[in-house]
A and B are shown apart, each in its own frame.
Chain A
Amino acid sequence: MGKNKENLLILLQEAQNKSGYLSQELMVELAKSLNVSLSEVYGVATFYSFLSAKPQARNVIRICKSVPCYLKNSQMIIETVGNKIGIKPGETTPDDKFSFQLTNCIGACDKAPAMMINHEVYGDLNPNKIAKILKSYL
């Protein structure tokens, strides 16, 4: 991807996919090479929920917390996942296997309650199903 300012978001997305997060060094480097301020790079890097300035685990779990999933007891999904991997939303497991986040509507309301792991969507969740899904990532 060319070193143009207009490619800033694409370059950040590529770095995110490659390294799992956007380190400070990377942002400084990118600002220099695109000839933009660090604040601009940081501003874009922290605007979007799929970009992260903090290290992320190999697998990022995003559980939908929006109203349609809430009506289908997403709270139970949040608790089940939390208990299984032993961390709270916003945290990463010590073995770096899972990061755990809550997210807004992922467009899977017809299969609520739903969650994403990386780019995969899982719907019609229940505790048994969650156990199986998590196992497949171990």
Chain B
Amino acid sequence: MSEKRIVLRNCGIIDPERITTYLDRNGFKALEKAFSELTCEQVIEEIKASGLRGRGGAGFPCGLKWDLSRNAQGDEKYVICNADEGEVGTFKDRYILEGDPFTLVEAMAIAGYAIGAKRGYIYLRAEYHYLLGLLKNAINQAKEKGFLEHFDIDIREGAGAYICGEESALMDSIEGKRGEVRYRPPFPPSRGLWGKPTIINNVETLMNIPQIIFNGAYWFSQLGTEQSKGTKVFSVSGDVKSPGVYELVLGSQLKELVEDLALAKNVKMVQVGGATGRIIPHEMMDTPLTFETILGAGAITVFDESRDVIDIVCRTMEFLAEECCGKCIPGRQGTEAMVEILKRFSRGEGRQKDIRVLEELSSAMMLSSLCGLGQAAPNPVIDSLQHFRSDYDNRIRESEGG
């Protein structure tokens, strides 16, 4: 299996500082096509027909999101690009922004046209401050060439908070507040930033837009599986020989990515989707990477046989407890309680009843947390209990014996 570069088609080829090199690769042709040949509704229909789903982790149908926002009442509407890439093990958006900021600018302008928004924001994580100049330059050059006459793009910098990658926390942060998660409904397409209809799309989702408009929905929908169209950009790290960013057609097997491309050996398990992702044991490496199976935002962290599962799960939970916004009790206290129990296991003081508590906590958090962080925080615990139960049982035996 080789790579298929759609999102990354310009990365490493164009000069990210010079718009002319982008124009030479059909840059802004999709925007021109949208303006001259398609109505706003037709643009949205095209995105719907392509089957494009959100690449930030949740996989919501992109065209539907746009449609909801187009149809929502509001004197002003907003397009937000979520460039707050904070998921552990994810760096694909950094790679995209470093290599091809122009496609993102074009995509946001198309989105603005489609939903009837005059203003867009790129929310850039504080850790990526070094990309600010490059992005500003891309926006300015697009302006100078007259591509942004009806649409303004502002960049808002984060200030260091994982939770601000969650869309409602992100909007609160743009509004100048603590990045705390909102109660929903209302959802952003009807009431988002400053209460106005808003679409929030991940960097990678937007990167697909110009090519779908330029080549047509049919071209895009021929790639991938029934429910997962197109490609996905993966960030591979951990125990591999060749860490980095790889773009594969959706439906490719985990094994192809981890073993054939990133050259991992003696794999014990793979965490797919970062801290709240799924843990896949070596026996299941033939799992296809799709929205229906496992995907998340495409973080692939590989662990070889020397790694201690409980240690990894404990560290993952410490991260989630630290980065939880603190608004809801299941998120705030649930993650803390899990850290306490997992640390006990790490110290060799785990007890049989701890397993039951972990399972009960997991279901409470999944059912009652306010956002994806709390709802998905139990994933590594549940998956490790399912696939590596003997590791827990051995620790309990050791502690009871000692």
A and B bound? yes
A108 interfacial by beta-carbon distance below 8 Å: yes
Is B142 an interface position by the 8 A CB rule? no
- Is B312 part of the contact surface with A, judged by Cβ < 8 Å? yes
Residues 57 to 99 of chain A near chain B (Cβ within 8 Å):
66-68, 70-71
- Is the CB of B33 closer than 8 A to any CB of chain A? no
Contact in complex: A48, B315 (CB < 8 Å): no
| Residue of A43, A68, A104, A112 touching B322 (CB-CB under 8 A) | A104
Name the CB-closest residue of B to A4: B176
Is B160 a contact partner of A49 (Cβ separation < 8 A)?
yes
Q: Is the interface of B mostly helix, strand, loop or mixed?
A: mixed
Does B129 touch A at the CB level, under 8 Å?
yes
Say whether, besides A6-B176, A49-B160, A67-B89, A104 and B323 are in contact (CB < 8 Å): yes
Are A68 and B127 in contact, CB atoms less than 8 angstroms apart?
no
Is A48 a contact of B160 with CB atoms below 8 Å?
yes
B197 to chain A, nearest CB (A): 18
Q: Is B281 an interface residue (CB 8 A)?
A: no
Do A48 and B130 touch (CB < 8 A)? no
Interface status of B147 (Cβ within 8 A of chain A): no
B314-350: contact bitstring with A at CB < 8 Å (1 yes, 0 no)?
A: 0110010011000000000000000000000000000
- In the assembled complex, the CB of A124 is this many whole angstroms from the nearest CB of chain B, namely 10
Cβ A110 vs Cβ B159 within 8 A? no
Chain B contacts for A108, CB-based, 8 A: 91, 94
Q: Contact: A9 with B88, CB < 8 Å?
A: no
> Do A68 and B301 contact each other (CB < 8 Å), given the known contacts A9-B177, A109-B235, A120-B130?
yes
Judge whether B245 is part of the interface by a CB distance below 8 angstroms: yes
Decide yes or no whether A7 CB sits under 8 A from chain B: yes
Point out the residue from A51, A110, A121 that lies within 8 Å of B160, measured CB to CB.
Answer: A51
Tell me if A127 is interfacial: C-beta within 8 Å of chain B: no
The smallest C-beta distance from B154 to any residue of chain A, in angstroms, reads 11
Interface size, B (range): 35 or more
Does B233 count as interface, using CB distance less than 8 angstroms? no
- Nearest CB on A from B308, distance (A): 11
Are A104's CB and B162's CB within 8 A?
yes
Q: Is A5 an interface residue (CB 8 A)?
A: yes
Q: Are A109 and B161 in contact (CB under 8 A)?
A: no
Among A7, A16, A44, A108, chain B packs the most CB atoms within 10 A around the CB of: A44
Residue from B158, B173, B243, B315 within 8 A of A67 (CB atoms): B315
> Judging by beta carbons under 8 Å apart, are A49 and B159 in contact?
yes
Is A105 engaged at the interface, CB distance under 8 Å to the other chain? yes
Of A44, A50, A68, A107, which contacts B178 at CB under 8 A? A44
Measured in the bound complex, the distance between the Cα atoms of B235 and A67 in whole Å is 14
- State whether the Cβ of A18 lies closer than 8 Å to any Cβ in chain B: no
User: Are A104 and B319 in contact, with the CB atoms below 8 A?
Assistant: yes
* A residues less than 8 Å from B161 (CB atoms): 47-49
The answer on a CB contact under 8 Å between A119 and B316 is no
- Would A67 and B88 be within 8 Å (CB), given that A13-B159, A107-B125 are in contact? yes
- A6-B175 CB under 8 A given contacts A68-B301, A110-B244, A110-B245: yes
16 CB contacts below 8 A, A to B, read: A49-B161, A50-B160, A66-B88, A66-B315, A66-B319, A68-B238, A105-B89, A105-B162, A107-B85, A107-B93, A109-B91, A109-B301, A110-B243, A116-B127, A119-B130, A120-B130
Interface residues of B (CB under 8 A from A): 85-91, 93-94, 125-130, 156-162, 173, 175-179, 194, 235-239, 243-245, 271, 275, 301, 303, 307, 312, 315-316, 319, 322-323
Shortest beta-carbon contacts, A-B, top 10: A49-B160, A48-B159, A109-B237, A50-B160, A8-B176, A47-B178, A68-B237, A107-B91, A119-B129, A9-B176
On A, residues with C-beta under 8 Å from B are: 5-10, 12-13, 16, 43-44, 47-51, 66-68, 70-71, 103-110, 112, 116, 119-121
